[in-house]
Structure 1
Amino acid sequence: MVDWEDIRHFLAVAQSGTLSGAARGLKVDHATVSRRLAALEAELDVKLVDRLPRSCRLTSLGRQVFERALEMETSAHSIARLAKAAHVPLFGRITLSAPPVLVTHLLTERLTRFRAEYPDIRLSLSAQAQRVSLSRREADVAVRFVRPDETGSVTRKIGTMAFGLYAHRSYAHLAAPERWEFIAWDQTFADTPAQSWLLGIAGGRPVVCELTYSSEHLIAVRAGVGVAALPCFIGERDRDLVRIEEGAPYFARDIWLVVHGDLQKTPAVRAVMDFVLAVVSDYPNLAVR
């Protein structure tokens, strides 16, 4: 009988295109992936993958097996979600995925309240900018800035995160907008709406540095490096910063809460969703609609 673990490793190779990529995704070593793949091919007595110098390519039969394996994976995750939903008491480990800016500046500082209300729930808070799959159980609940469209998920808009331009109150060029220098996002977020908005305002004025996360932008602004775009709920509560406007157009990101339909009524998952809603509602600059 075919071992599910062998199929799981085959799926990872097919999806990543390399043995090393599959190993990173599964958090195992390269040799384990290679051994599992070889075991599956030996069990089926067929060749599923052509091992090229820098990549792995599915054979014709491998592509057919891949489609069946995806169906098996979906069914396996569905069974796990149903089992999780059957646990009525408020206990267990719930994974909440959210953008780093919300984890760092919003959710983490309210964990004490969550712990007091739900002492038997272990909340695993994952700061992730990239999309996660709820159907594959990469998270139980997710918060996103782009409306998710994953099949089987239930989505709700819970707020709007507005941005503004901020600088340290001692920034030497505050009185001369033509001399402003800007802090932008790095290439990781080069194609995001926020980057396009900021660079549109900067125009021909210099970008003095590029940073990845809003927490890094905040540190740079506090140090007087230049002008940055920060979420208003962060900028407005920092007494060392001033909001500066140059007729800048309004920009905001919608905040979406998403959960898989199989889990939305599970008490522990529901508690985490209510926690996120309560935290967002507490902030005046995150207008819940």
Structure 2
Amino acid sequence: MNGRKFTKLDWDDLRHFLALAQSGTFLGAAKQLGVEHATISRRVSSLEATLERKLIDRRGRRIILTLEGEKVAKHAAVIALQTAAVEQIGRSSATEVRGHVRISAPPALSSALLAKPIVTMRRDHPGVQITLVGEKRFTSLNRREADIAIRLSRPEDGDYSITKLQELTFDLFASKRYLETVTPSEWTFIGYDEAMNSSPQQLRLNEVAAGRQIALRSSVLEFQVAAARLDGGVVMLPDFAVPFDLQRIEGEHALVRELWLVVHSEIKDLPSVRVVLDALKNAFKKKPHADPPRLSE
């Protein structure tokens, strides 16, 4: 590969290859970028031809990066981060409070705790547009699909500015009728699906269940709440998601998790990003020990 040929490197080829490297499948990459999987294949083949290097090995539906593919993916990820930072600067004014800010947060938490501070902030700063994405993992932040994230796990690496917002308490709840009619030895439980098996709250639920059946599973916290209210079993809920008609089960079941506010360091001082950060921090700072908002009927 000579220098003249290298200048013809197509960023779109690199972007499609990075999506494939991150997702591990053509279908996953296609969903991430909103294109057909054939487009991913064509773009990756184009990049391999340009670089004159084999970047992937196909293993059925999954792909494995070659050694050189891993190197290219590493450099492409850095380029993607810097490109996204430039795009964010373009979306936001350097001096005025206006621009588009993307927030990633767990869906149930977003509904219960984020609507009010975001709407209030926009009354004061109508030039700021917000996109809120329900996301439980760091994927959207790592890929620069979000500018700000609220997470239950503190990121271990990355160039982020990180603030602890507060602590959330998870505990066991069930309906009054369920507790009155079902003996503890016969309890069944309501938990998350397999994708959340490693989460601390699911591990604690498994520990409490102690062999008793987890009969209902869902990634949607609102469904878990609804099932418990209909006498469907015992559920572990964060304090902000507990409706008035569920009863806490006495015992040493509680689990405390920390809630973190995460933002990319290079954009944290942009005016539009700063006002959103301040609104979120103030919302959690006002009454850190008060009863959280509850899900209504």
Q: TM-score, normalised by structure 2?
A: 0.83
Matched with 1:115 is 122
Report the residue type matching 2:255 in the other structure. F
2:270 to 266, 269, 277: 266
User: Given residue 256 of structure 1, which amino acid in structure 2 is its aligned partner?
Assistant: W
1:81 Cα deviation after fit: 4.6
SS in 1 for 2:267: coil
**Residue identity in the other structure for 1:79:** V
Deviation at 1:20, TM superposition (A): 2.4
1:69 aligns with 2:76: yes
Matching of residue 244 in structure 1 with residue 265 in structure 2: no
Cα contact 2:91–2:100 (8 A) shared by 1: no
CA distance in 2, matches of 1:277, 1:241: 29
Alignment CA distance shift 1:165-1:13 (3 Å): closer
| C-alpha distance in structure 1 between counterparts of 2:91 and 2:23, whole Å | 28
Report the count of equivalent residues. Answer: 283
Q: CA deviation at 1:229?
A: 1.3
- Taking the aligned partners of 1:262 and 1:225, their CA distance within structure 2 comes to 47
SS in 2 for 1:171: helix
Letter in 1 for 2:129: R
- Give the % identical residues: 35
Question: What's the CA shift for 1:35?
Answer: 2.2
Matched, 1:231 2:235: no
Distance 1:3 1:220, change over 3 A: same
CA distance in structure 1 between the partners assigned to 2:78 and 2:118 by the alignment = 37
C-alpha change, 1:224 and 1:64, in structure 2 (3 Å) is closer
TM-score (norm. length: structure 1):
0.85
Alpha-carbon distance change, 84 to 131 in structure 1, aligned in 2, over 3 angstroms: same
- Name the residue aligned to 1:140: 147
Structure 1: give runs of 5+ residues left out of the alignment: none
Q: Using a 3 Å threshold, how does the CA distance of structure 1 residues 27 and 114 change in structure 2: closer, same or farther?
A: same
**Consecutive unaligned residues in structure 2, runs of 5 or more:** 1-7, 293-297
CA distance in 2 between counterparts of 1:162 and 1:30 reads 42
Q: CA RMSD in A?
A: 2.7
Could you tell me which residue of structure 2 aligns to residue 212 of structure 1? 219
User: Helix, strand or coil for the counterpart of 1:229?
Assistant: strand
Q: What is the CA distance between 1:47 and its match in structure 2?
A: 4.0
Question: What are the Cα deviations for residues 215-269 of structure 1, in whole angstroms up to 9, with x where unaligned?
Answer: 111101111112211112322xx33222221x22331111011111111111111
What is the CA deviation profile of residues 68-109 of structure 1, one whole-angstrom value per residue up to 9, with x for unaligned ones? 434433443343355556533222211111112211222235
The one of 107, 127, 136 equivalent to 1:129 is 136
Cα distance 1:67–1:158, how it changes in 2: closer, same or farther (>3 A)?
Answer: closer
Aligned position for 2:281: 277
Residue 97 (structure 1) aligned to one of 104, 107, 121: 104
**Correspondent of 1:41 among 35, 48, 53:** 48
For the residues of structure 2 that align with 1:55 and 1:135, how far apart are their CA atoms? Answer: 21
What is the CA–CA distance in structure 2 between the aligned matches of 1:56 and 1:211, rounded to whole Å?
29
User: 1:55–1:146: structure 2 CA closer, same or farther, 3 Å change rule?
Assistant: closer
Q: 1:71 to 1:173 in 2, by over 3 A?
A: same
Q: 14-23 vs 261-270, which deviates more? A: 14-23
Distance of 1:130 and 1:113 partners within structure 2: 27
Q: Matched residues in 2 for 1:268 and 1:169: separation?
A: 47
